[in-house]
Amino acid sequence: MGEMRKDREKGLPNDAAGLIEHYRLEVRKGQEAYDELLKELNMLRGTKLVVEQLSSEKIKMKKRAEEAEGELSILRGIETNRVKEAQARSNQLQEELDRKGRENNDLFNRVADSLEVNESHQKYNGKLQDRLTELEQENIELHAENKKMHNYLDSKVNKARESGM
């Protein structure tokens, strides 16, 4: 009977139907609380699965990122070498271009010098040609004079022979 008094003090009904209904309500509240806890547990399990999947994906992505960084580093090294090779080739071509430019300039100077010498030779040849023409003219004149002199001397010699000398 001490228990009944405690139940009454808690505000529990006295009859069996009331007690059954009260405990049914309590069981329903417990079931609802259990259902809520089960929902939370399912949500936590789902969240845990999502977190595990995301963690797994994060690890995979981190690994892929590290691999990509490694490949990028290799590609940078290769590209750096290509750039260095291209720069060296560019420098080599620039040196060759400079050398060809100097050779071209030297050839241009040689052509200019040759043209100057040629012009000088042409002037000298012109003078020589003029002098040759003068000498030929003098030769013709001398030849004519020689012929006159020869004829004059021939006529004198012939006159001298005719006169008995």
pLDDT, residue 55, reads: 92
Query: What confidence tens digit (pLDDT) does each residue in 46-95 have?
Result: 999 999 999 999 999 999 999 999 999 999 989 999 999 999 999 999 99
Q: Rounded distance, CA 112 to CA 127, Å?
A: 23
- Higher pLDDT: 21 or 5? It is 21
- Higher pLDDT: 153 or 13? It is 153
pTM: 0.42
Across the chain, mean pLDDT equals 88
In the chain, where the domains are located: 2-162
> Is residue 155 pLDDT above 90, yes or no?
no
Ramachandran bin of 12, using left for φ above 0, alpha for ψ from -120 to 50, beta for the remaining angles: beta
Compute the C-alpha angle 14/16/20, nearest 5°: 110
Q: Rounded distance, CA 151 to CA 145, Å?
A: 9
Q: Rounded distance, CA 116 to CA 104, Å?
A: 18
Please compute the mean of the pLDDT values over residues 98-110 and round it to a whole number: 93
